[in-house]
Chain A
Amino acid sequence: MASVLEIKDLHVSVEGKEILKGLTLTVKTGEVHSIMGPNGSGKSTLALALMGHPKYEVTHGEILFKGRNIVELEPDERARLGLFLAFQYPLEIQGVPLGRFLWAAKKAMMGQGTDGPTDKKADAKALSQFRQELQEKMKLLKMDESFAQRYLNVGFSGGEKKRAEIVQMHILKPEIAILDETDSGLDIDSVKIVAEAVNQLRGPDFGALVITHYQRILNFLKPDYVHVMIDGRIVRSGDESLVHELEAKGYDWLVNGANNAKVIQ
């Protein structure tokens, strides 16, 4: 059975200012959705609110994931349920090597702490499997192995940070992943690498919500659904052909539509 992320009439405020104004959207495993929209339309707010950033306050509506309202859940609880966010601006964490961090994250996802009683032999085996898996995933994203020893995102270039996010996604194997402008600032080769890595996860157990400004990544991803977001709402949904329509016409025709919609309301 598909896992479902169901966003119903979501209103989100940041520091008292309403950014999402009644957003409704459903993403299921097996599907790739794309959200496009002009700057300031609330795309990143949606991503951060879905993951549970404390600054983003849900004032109305629901976020149902696997049938459960997750609005009151902490970010780590959401992650353990199978939600993942590839950050637009991944944070740098000094002193925490990427490899060790991911191993701890993987254990945390499985509900194990880093300490406490464990079967040492099984643990060592799991660790060696993990190392091998990490190596493969880094290869897939064309990142040098040495990144595993480097502190998390510290001194990484913009593109390296984004690719490291996708490595993390591969290791943590979420059911629904939100990619917040993962393609921004990437050169065309990197966009292709990232898109291929996302495509590799596609299947009945994985769904994605890909937030982007640009058509490029969508040419490689071929999303099942495309949504246009303006002023905190989805104003139009369609299939991949909508991307080309946007490419040709821009957002203005929809902006006006959104304004009209407001007037009609």
Chain B
Amino acid sequence: MRTLLSLSVDQIIKQSSERREPDWLVRKRVEALAALQKLPMPESRYTKIRELDLDAFDFAKQNAHGARVSEFATEREAVHIQIDAKVLTTQVPEPLSNKIIFCDMATAVREHPELLQKYLFGIISPQEDKMTALVGALAQNGIFIYIPKETVLEEPLRLVYLLDEPSVAALAHQVIVVESGSLVTVLEEAYAKHPQEIGPHLHGAITEVYLGDGAQMKFGALQNWNEGTFSFVRRRAHVERDAKLHWTIGWLGGRLTMSHVESRLVGPGAEMEDIQVLFGRHKQHFDLTSSLRNMAPHVKGEIHMKGVMKDQARAVMYGFIRVDPVAQQSNSYQLAQGLLLNDGAHCDAIPGLEIEANDVRATHGASIGPIDEEQIFYLMSRGFDREQAKRTIVEGFLTPTLEQIPIAGVRERFHAFIEQKWNE
């Protein structure tokens, strides 16, 4: 069996040429392969990755297992659907198809190589860490979205990822470009075909986001893999003058999830908000980072991370704010809150502030703790049984954050998923 470590440059080149990838991309792949073979598994103070053997996965197999588009979307929606590593469809209805580029990565490589070259690996380097390198070297597919200037999209663009067959790796590279003055909502949905199964599944994705002057994007993501999935996600955004970015990410699934979200506010007046909500149970482990970098004056950013942990679930939430010397009069805030439902559950919040400008506001808050017994008693005195009381408190804990989610569909589905997890 061929292992990742023994994968040769020639093999990467061969694979790339089969896909008719241009030279610049082949070079990136080769760089990524070197990094992949050299770098150790990612880890943090709270997360050591054991029981993940990359060589146990098939990186070539593509099979949609008879899935049909109609199971996930109507014909009128702009949607990209991937089953494991296989693209089921990337459809965009008319007249939208004349206005924007919305295609899978393999198609983008063939049809829009010059445009793509400007952005692919533009803000995420394939050498950043082993899993980024893995995606860089071996990503089978992904999506390229390009919204030209002054284009307003009323309906969200949907990206649906489904994991089906165990031991098949699903790696995706996503590039989203929103040119100046345009408005778009992107909704990424990640589901398990077999929610009760325990894999192993491997998912890796990198997402590069570019917002031009005054552009606005709402990016919603809901992850509900099964509890046998190792998932590594890196998302980074480059936000220009007066542009606004909203991240909303709901974490429910996975055995081990490592996520980095980084927002670089490079233009004056740029704004971002990152809302991440997680609900962990059993032995799930989440290692979530949200990083805000203020790189221009008058920028504004907020990070809200909120977690409910049940059973033996563990989470660590890192929030980093870095204010560059030029980022005067910028305003940033981060809040991390964790609610522990029982003794075995665990949650850490690690805030970090690095401020090099003198006329700024940057604040943070964190609170982690068990459910307040006094609150339970109060609700029970009004006729709620213990379970309903706890549940009411947990839902209430999440509600103010969920209400900030600017995409109604994500909000409702998140509620439904929590309900489901609670009842199982």
Contact = CB atoms under 8 A, between A and B. Distances in A.
Contacts of A113: 388
Given A91-B375, A91-B378, A93-B378, A76 B396 contact: no
B386 A96 contact: no
A127 interface: no
B381 interface: yes
A84 B381 CA distance: 7
Nearest to B394: A95
B26 interface: no
A78 B382 CA distance: 9
B396 A96 contact: yes
A94 B399 contact: yes
Contacts, number: 81
B395 interface: yes
B362 interface: no
Contacts of B386: 74, 76
Interface residues of A, number: 30
B381 A75 contact: yes
Q: Most chain-B CB neighbours within 10 Å: which of A76, A80, A152?
A: A76
A19 interface: no
B396 A85 contact: no
A72 to B, nearest CB: 15
Contacts of B398: 95
Contact of A79 (B374, B382, B388, B392): B382
Contacts of A76: 380-386, 389
B393 A79 contact: no
B397 interface: yes
A104 B384 contact: yes
A96 B381 contact: no
Interface in B366-380: 372-375, 377-380
A105 interface: yes
A90 B377 CA distance: 11
A164 B325 CA distance: 50
B392 A93 contact: yes
A35 to B, nearest CB: 19
B393 A93 contact: yes
B400 interface: yes
Interface string A97-119: 00001001100110001100000
A10 interface: no
A95 B381 contact: no
B397 A95 contact: yes
Contacts of A147: none
A172 B392 CA distance: 18
Given A91-B374, A93-B393, A74 B380 contact: yes
Contact of A96 (B373, B380, B383, B392): B392
A91 to B, nearest CB: 4
A90 B396 contact: no
A244 interface: no
B389 to A, nearest CB: 8
A79 B375 contact: no
Contacts of B397: 94-95
Contacts of A101: 382, 392
B377 A96 contact: no
A175 B133 CA distance: 68
Contact of A151 (B375, B379, B396): B396
A15 to B, nearest CB: 14
Given A76-B385, A95-B398, 16 more contacts: A51-B377, A52-B380, A52-B381, A54-B377, A74-B386, A78-B381, A79-B382, A79-B383, A87-B381, A91-B375, A93-B396, A94-B399, A95-B396, A96-B392, A104-B384, A104-B388
The 3 A-B residue pairs whose C-beta atoms are closest, nearest first, are A95-B396, A95-B399, A108-B383
Interface of B: 372-375, 377-386, 388-389, 392-393, 395-400
5 contacts: A52-B380, A91-B375, A95-B399, A113-B388, A168-B382
